[in-house]
Structure 1
Amino acid sequence: MVGPAIGPVRRAFAPWNDPSAKPFIEFRNVTKRFGDFVAVKDLSLKIYEREFFALLGPSGCGKTTLMRMLGGFDEPTEGSILLEGKDLVGIPPYRRPTNMMFQSYALFPHMTVADNIAFGLKQAGMPKPDIQSRVDEMLALVKLEKFARRKPHQLSGGQRQRVALARSLAKKPKVLLLDEPLGALDKKLREETQFELMDLQMKLGMTFLIVTHDQEEAMTVADRIAVMNNGVIVQVATPAEIYEQPNSRYVADFIGDINLIEGKVAEASEGSAKLACAATGATVAVNQTLSASIGDEAWFAIRPEKMRISRDAPADTSVNALSGEVWDIGYLGDVSIYHVRLPTGATVKATITNATRLVERPISWEDKVWLTWSRDAGVVLTR
């Protein structure tokens, strides 16, 4: 049976926009040092109840350290971490209302699926009848009832991942911490499991915090994303805001594919601006108010799919238009990526959706083409 649609719930869920909403988890000026190395630097962050929150960034950016401090596996050097208004510092992991699902799954190889799920409940002293009831509930939740008596080596990677998830949820923590939970799965299974995680989180009404370096994964599952770099949070926003309105070149370049075109501010007024971009020979016009002055350095960030590519010149070639030659083409099945070499030597990428099954390309290598875009297709970044 198909459950109720979660779309209306997800659309209405935005406690971070409510000034009266109290955070469920709060990091206050948290710093973590390992000797001379500063892994997390004076970081403050608010996460709300029932939120699916993602910490996203490259290896070594501090995201796992932040999660481990929330779980109690590391203590902050400075600052405080609050859950429902209570300071967690000094409370050991087993006394916190959190549970962590590790990337390696850490299943006991000599135990059955049911025993792996029951392990934490036995450690907590839960009565046997209640343990059996909870294990049955978790097996049904992750659809593994038929595999209860199997051992981990008899399961597929996706099934082991579900066992680890069920074990993490068995004690019904207030917060589930997911450390790169899908990293060991193949691409197709990973994509399927992402949606299963989203549905499960909504069904349970729990707060999930996931750590990942996979941009697509974070964009798919999370209500909000915190992009981290060098121990600090660069931007916190919804996936759509992160993708469409990055606040810096770092975020724009880290999330998805993008063209970053350097230039100088030529005009700036309320709701409108122009950049002169010598490296590409383009004049870029945007519907955007800039906090910059004439002559200031800036970058125009535009996604390849926002660019139109054509053999025909546009009516107005003086603004938001570039001419060049197709230098390379990448065929990805659903889309084709065109690398267009400009007369200045710079290369710009444009994407075409492969909407038909035609094998012959409408635009091919060495074709002379024009790239155009609308005034609201990209964003000007000043940092």
Structure 2
Amino acid sequence: MAKTLGPVKRSFAPWNDPAAKPYIQYQGITKRFGDFVAVKDLDLTIYEREFFALLGPSGCGKTTLMRMLAGFEEPTEGRILLDGQDMAGIPPYRRPTNMMFQSYALFPHMDVTENIAFGLKQDKLPKGEIDARVQEMLKLVKLEPFAKRKPHQMSGGQRQRVALARSLAKRPKVLLLDEPLGALDKKLREETQFELTDLQYELGMTFIIVTHDQEEAMTLADRIAVMDKGKIVQVATPAEIYEEPNTRYVADFIGNINILDAGVTASSADATKLTVPGIPAAIEVSRACPASVGDAAFFAIRPEKMHISLDRPVETTVNALQGEIWDIAYLGDVSIYHVRLDNGSVVKATVTNATRLVERPITWHDKVWLTFARDAGLVLTA
């Protein structure tokens, strides 16, 4: 059985099954706009009923990748298969996909019912079927009391639900979500994320979301493709992306992380020893390293995996870094300590504020020790 990191949302991991057939396949995809290469020689497989996230900074190619699947752009090279069918030459309105845009693109002169019914009327469905489908969508997104309201009479979250209902009304095989929650405030966005995952699971549909929001991708997706400069750097589950990033770029892009330049001093099948210039303590990591002794590498560790203390550790001679409190961010539930190490590097350590009172509070300019377990950090070579 494949190793699993983090919470498992459901018994669903076709990517670990060699016999599973991909539902969507990008094969050797390149997309050029003049001299600019937006997507370069890219391969990607997505499975039926998967909630898949394309994550990356602006300009990395994620929206172009989605627009090619929707039919709004054609690949310069390569092909896209959906359920075994080559999408080349098929116009957007004939593809079994529907796209929900960040702006929602609702018709301001139409009420909720009319907005949801618009695409069904364009397809010339019978009136009875249109009415039944609209009622089904209103119930699905919990907007039945707002059926006759115009978009300007609704909140941002309600308009987002209308756009979602309209996208689902035509019963596409794949729903494409282009930054769908970007216009919502933080609290509403967090609430809507869980509603989306519940809805996707209930419908049993394939959802693909484009986002630059790390937390959004981590919350929503079964798997995430991290993109950079038109290429996919890593595809994995949210927990694997966070705990086992394959490059410094991925590690730095997802969440907070401390990354120190280091050198490999010893390496075996299950352990690696490192030294960091200007820091006397050795660092040991309980995993193999692809680099050889004497090679340069990076030591990466998440702030929440570091223990901060005013007292010098007595039980270890490794993985103990000394420094001075440089800054403190109190966020209520957690405090983030910025610690300046002996070599001038500044690292972060996160402490959960589990109690209201602390007998010996750590404050600015205190000398502190940072310790961590051997399995807490990573050795990265790229």
Q: Shorter-chain TM-score category? A: over 0.9
Per-residue CA deviation, residues 199-228 of structure 1 (Å, 9 max, x unaligned), is 000000000000000000000000000000
**Aligned-pair CA distance for 1:11:** 3.1
Residue type of the partner of 1:190? R
CA contact (8 A) 1:262 1:279 kept: no
Residue type of the partner of 2:151? P
Residue equivalent to 2:373: 374
Per-residue CA deviation, residues 258-282 of structure 1 (Å, 9 max, x unaligned), is 0001101100011111111115444
CA contact (8 A) 2:278 2:342 kept: no
Residue equivalent to 1:208: 207
Task: State how far apart, in whole Å, the 1-side matches of 2:198 and 2:110 are.
Answer: 28
Map of 1:14-53 to 2, 5 A cutoff?
14-53=13-52
Per-residue CA deviation, residues 325-379 of structure 1 (Å, 9 max, x unaligned), is 1110001111100001122211111000011123887211111110000000011
Task: State how far apart, in whole Å, the 1-side matches of 2:260 and 2:280 are.
Answer: 10
Residue equivalent to 1:233: 232
Task: Report the 3-state secondary structure (helix = DSSP H, G, I; strand = E; otherwise coil) of the residue aligned with 2:192.
Answer: helix
Residue type of the partner of 2:231? V
Residue equivalent to 1:162: 161
Task: Report the 3-state secondary structure (helix = DSSP H, G, I; strand = E; otherwise coil) of the residue aligned with 2:304.
Answer: helix
Map of 1:321-360 to 2, 5 A cutoff?
321-358=320-357
Residue type of the partner of 2:221? A
Residue type of the partner of 1:258? I
Task: State how far apart, in whole Å, the 1-side matches of 2:371 and 2:252 are.
Answer: 21
CA contact (8 A) 1:261 1:280 kept: no
Residue type of the partner of 2:340? R
Residue equivalent to 1:218: 217
**Aligned-pair CA distance for 1:251:** 0.1
Residue type of the partner of 2:158? Q
Task: Report the 3-state secondary structure (helix = DSSP H, G, I; strand = E; otherwise coil) of the residue aligned with 1:120.
Answer: helix
Where do 5+ consecutive residues of structure 2 fail to align? 1-6
Residue type of the partner of 1:261? L
**Aligned-pair CA distance for 1:318:** 3.2
Residue equivalent to 1:363: 362
CA contact (8 A) 1:279 1:346 kept: no
Task: State how far apart, in whole Å, the 1-side matches of 2:94 and 2:360 are.
Answer: 61
**Aligned-pair CA distance for 1:306:** 0.2
- Is 1:104 matched up with 2:118? no
Residue type of the partner of 2:264? V
Task: State how far apart, in whole Å, the 1-side matches of 2:67 and 2:282 are.
Answer: 48
Residue equivalent to 1:262: 261
Residue equivalent to 2:186: 187
Map of 1:243-282 to 2, 5 A cutoff?
243-282=242-281
Where do 5+ consecutive residues of structure 1 fail to align? 1-7
Mean CA deviation greater in 123-132 or 354-363 = 354-363
Task: State how far apart, in whole Å, the 2-side matches of 1:279 and 1:69 are.
Answer: 50
Task: Report the 3-state secondary structure (helix = DSSP H, G, I; strand = E; otherwise coil) of the residue aligned with 2:282.
Answer: strand
> What RMSD, in angstroms, separates the aligned Cα atoms of the two structures?
1.4
Residue equivalent to 1:242: 241
Number of residue pairs aligned between Structure 1 and Structure 2: 377
Runs of 4+ in 1 over 6 A off after TM superposition: none
Task: State how far apart, in whole Å, the 2-side matches of 1:344 and 1:63 are.
Answer: 39
Residue equivalent to 2:174: 175
- Is 1:10 matched up with 2:29? no
Task: State how far apart, in whole Å, the 2-side matches of 1:178 and 1:58 are.
Answer: 16
CA contact (8 A) 1:263 1:279 kept: no
CA contact (8 A) 1:273 1:286 kept: yes
Task: Report the 3-state secondary structure (helix = DSSP H, G, I; strand = E; otherwise coil) of the residue aligned with 1:314.
Answer: coil
Task: State how far apart, in whole Å, the 2-side matches of 1:321 and 1:185 are.
Answer: 43
Residue type of the partner of 2:145? K
Q: Decide whether aligned partners of structure 1 residues 46 and 361 sit closer, same or farther in structure 2, where only a CA change above 3 A counts.
A: farther
Task: State how far apart, in whole Å, the 1-side matches of 2:273 and 2:191 are.
Answer: 43
Residue equivalent to 2:3: none
Residue type of the partner of 2:178? D
Task: State how far apart, in whole Å, the 1-side matches of 2:341 and 2:202 are.
Answer: 51
Seq. identity, %:
75
Residue equivalent to 1:75: 74
Task: State how far apart, in whole Å, the 2-side matches of 1:139 and 1:95 are.
Answer: 25
Residue type of the partner of 1:68? R
Per-residue CA deviation, residues 22-74 of structure 1 (Å, 9 max, x unaligned), is 00000000000000000000000000000000000000000000000000000
Residue type of the partner of 1:44? D
TM superposition score normalised by structure 1: 0.96
Residue type of the partner of 1:217? E
CA contact (8 A) 1:260 1:299 kept: yes
CA contact (8 A) 2:227 2:234 kept: yes
